[in-house]
Amino acid sequence: MEAIILAGGFGTRLRPLTYTRAKSLLPILNKPMISYLIESLPPEVDRVVLAVNYRKGQIEEYFADHDCGRELIVNDEPTPLGTAGAVKFAEEYLTGRFFVLNADIICSLSLSEMIRFHRNHGAVASISLWPVEHVSEFGVADAQQDGKIVGFVEKPRPEDAPSNLINAGAYLLEPEVLEYIETGRLVSMEKEIFPQIITDTGKFYGFVLQGYWMDIGRISSYLEVHQFLLRKHKFDNYVGEHCKVGGHLHHSCLGNHVTIGKNAQVHSSIIYDNVHVGEGVTLSDCVIGENVRIGQASTLKKVVVGDNEIVHAQTSLEQDVQWTQSIPKEYPKKQIGNPLQSS
Ligand code: GTP
C-alpha cells in the first residue's frame, strides 16, 4: 500500500524560515516535521511517495541520509499541481487503495484504525476530521451519525455550521478517485474532487480523530507545537548537542552548537543550529534561524529571524521578522492556497 505525502508547498506563512528551507524539514524538537509523519505510518504502507516541488533537493538530501524503512520515491512536480494534481502526478506508483497525507500536521491519528474504519464502511474516500471550537475559519464537514459526509460548508457562521468537525489533512482513497482528477493542471482535492465524490458515490466518510492535532501552518502554531511537545514529554527545555548555556532557558528548544551568553533569558523560543545569543539578550516567543548572531543586550519579542542573519547589539524588536537577504526568485509573493482553511 502507498502513502503520498504532500510536501510541495512553499509554506509562505512560515517565511522567512521557508525562504531557505522546505517547510516539511523545519525542525520540531530538532527533528524535521515530516519525520513525525513517517514514524506514524502503519506497517501496511510499504511505499512512500513524497510529492515535492519547492526545495526538493533538500528533501532528497535528507532522505538520502535517513532511511524511512520503506521504499521511498521523491516525485518532483514540474510546477505546484495542488493537493489533487500532485496525487494524479503520482498515479504510476499507486497499486490500489492509498493514503494522502499533509506533511505539516502533527497529530495522534492512528492510520491503522483509519484503514479499518474505511474498510468497514465500504468507503470510496475517508478523511480524518478534528473537532474545533471556532469553526468560522475552516471548511466544516456536514457529517451524519454513521460518519457519512454529505458536504462541506466553507467558513460558516457558528450558528450555520453543520458540525464542529474540520478536515484534518489525512485521506484514504480508492483508486477510482484518480479518475476524477484532470492531468497536468493545478487541482484542489478539497474544493474540486471531494464534492464530486460525495455527489457521485455517496461513499465519503469522516473518521474523527482522538487525542491531539496541530496544523503547523503559521509561526504561532510552530511555537505552540513546541510548547505542547515539551509538556507532553515533561521536558523543561530541549537542548541539542554541543551547546553552552550561560543564561537561563524557560520552555525553549535549542539546536546543536548553540551558545547562550551570560545573563541572557530565553523564553518559549526555538533556536536552530549554530546560533550565538549574546550576553544580556532577552528572547520571548521567538524563532531564530541557523547561523544567526544576536548581539548583546538585545530584546526580541515575537520575532522570527531568518537563517544567517545578524542582529546588532542593543536591538529592540517586537512582533517582527528579520530578513535582509534576497528572496528566492521562485518564491510566491502571496499564499497560493490553503486546502485546510479554504479561501
Ligand atoms: P502556505 O503557503 O503557508 O499556505 O503553506 P503551504 O504552501 O504548505 O500550503 P498548505 O499549508 O495549504 O499545504 C498543506 C500541505 O499540502 C503541505 O504539506 C504542503 O506542502 C502541501 N501542498 C500544498 N500545495 C501543494 C502542491 O501544489 N503540491 C504538493 N506536492 N504539495 C502541496
Reported as a single tens digit per residue, the pLDDT across 145-168 is: 999 999 999 889 999 999 999 999
Asked if 129 and 168 touch (Cβ cutoff 8 Å), the reply is yes
- Of the candidates 307, 265, 279, 331, the one whose C-alpha atom is nearest the C-alpha of residue 80 is 331
Known catalytic residue at 155: yes
Q: Which of 54-58, 136-140, 148-152, 170-174 bottoms out in mean pLDDT, i.e. has the lowest?
A: 136-140
Q: Which of 4, 5, 6 to mutate to test the pocket of ligand 1 (most atoms within 8 A of CB)?
A: 6
How far apart, in whole angstroms, are the C-alpha atoms of residue 284 and residue 302? Answer: 6
Helix (H, G, I), strand (E, B) or coil at 193: helix
Closest CA relative to residue 159, chosen from 143, 142, 131, 135: 135
Spot the catalytic one: 155, 234, 329, 334: 155
Domain 236-343 has CATH 2.160.10.10: yes
Using CA atoms, how far apart are residues 202 and 157, in angstroms rounded to an integer? 26
Cβ–Cβ under 8 Å, residues 88 and 189: no
Question: Among 2-11, 130-139, 224-233, 279-288, which stretch is predicted with the lowest mean pLDDT?
Answer: 130-139
327, three cell numbers: 528572496
Angle 162-163-168 (CA atoms, 0-180°, nearest 5)?
120
Q: How far apart are CA 219 and CA 154, in angstroms?
A: 24
Place of cell 519525520: 35
Compute the distance between CA of residue 2 and CA of residue 336 in angstroms, rounded to an integer: 27
Q: Which of 15, 76, 338, 340 to mutate to test the pocket of ligand 1 (most atoms within 8 A of CB)?
A: 338
* Residue of minimum CA distance from atom 31 in ligand 1: 8
The pLDDT value given to residue 342: 40
Atom 14 of ligand 1: nearest residue by CA position: 102
How much is the pLDDT for 337? 56
Q: What pLDDT score does 137 carry?
A: 83
> How many angstroms separate the CA atoms of 216 and 26, rounded?
10
Domain ranges in the chain are: 2-215, 236-343
d(CA 152, CA 342): 11
* Per-residue model confidence (pLDDT) at position 339: 47
Q: Report how far residue 179's alpha carbon sits from residue 24's, in angstroms, rounded to the nearest whole number.
A: 28
- Size (the chain), residues: 343
Give the number of the atom of ligand 1 that is nearest the alpha carbon of residue 14.
3
Which atom belonging to ligand 1 lies closest to the Cα atom of 105?
18
- Nearest-atom number in ligand 1 for the CA of 7 is 20
C-alpha cell of residue 226: 513546541
DSSP string, 10-71: --GGGTTHHHHS-GGGSEETTEEHHHHHHHT--TT--EEEEEEBTBHHHHHHHHHHS--SSE
Interval between CA 23 and ligand 1 midpoint (Å)? 9
CB contact set of 234 (below 8 Å; sequence gap of 6+): none
> How many whole angstroms from 268 Cα to the centroid of ligand 1?
27
Which residues contact ligand 1 via a Cβ below 6 A?
A: 6-13, 23, 51-53, 77, 80-83, 86, 102-104, 217, 335-336, 338-339
Tens of pLDDT, residue by residue over 182-222, are 998 999 999 999 999 999 999 999 999 999 999 999 999 99
Q: Are 30 and 255 in contact (CB under 8 A)?
A: yes
Interval between CA 12 and ligand 1 midpoint (Å): 9
Q: Are residues 16 and 323 in contact, defined by beta-carbon separation less than 8 angstroms?
A: yes
Model pTM? 0.93
Sign of CA dihedral 342, 176, 171, 163: positive
Distance 94 CA to ligand 1 centre (A): 21
Are 2-215 and 236-343 the same fold in CATH? no
In this structure, what C-alpha cell is assigned to residue 39? Answer: 514514524
Q: How remote is the CA of residue 61 from the centroid of ligand 1, in Å?
A: 20
In this predicted structure, what is the pLDDT of residue 91? Answer: 97
CATH number of 2-215: 3.90.550.10
Q: Is the pLDDT of residue 338 over 70?
A: no
Nearest-CA residue for atom 1 of ligand 1: 11
> For all residues of the chain together, what is the average pLDDT?
94
User: Residues 153, 166: contact at Cβ < 8 Å?
Assistant: no
Task: Work out the percent of the chain whose per-residue pLDDT is above 70.
Answer: 98
Ligand 1 atom nearest to 80, measured from its CA: 27
Q: Tell me whether the omega of the peptide bond preceding residue 16 falls within 30 degrees of 0, making it cis.
A: yes
For residue 138, what pLDDT is reported?
A: 85
The three grid cell numbers given for residue 116, joined into one nine-digit string: 479499518
* pLDDT tens column, 226-247: 999 999 999 999 999 999 999 9
Atom of ligand 1 nearest to the CA of 336: 2
What strands lie across the sheet with 276-277, from one edge to the other?
Answer: 244-245, 259-260, 276-277, 293-294, 310-311
Poorest-confidence range of 89-98, 115-124, 191-200, 329-338? 329-338
CA of 8 to the centre of ligand 1 (A): 6
> How do residues 243-288 score in pLDDT, each as one tens digit?
999 999 999 999 999 999 999 999 999 999 999 999 999 999 999 9
Cell representation of residue 285? 516567543
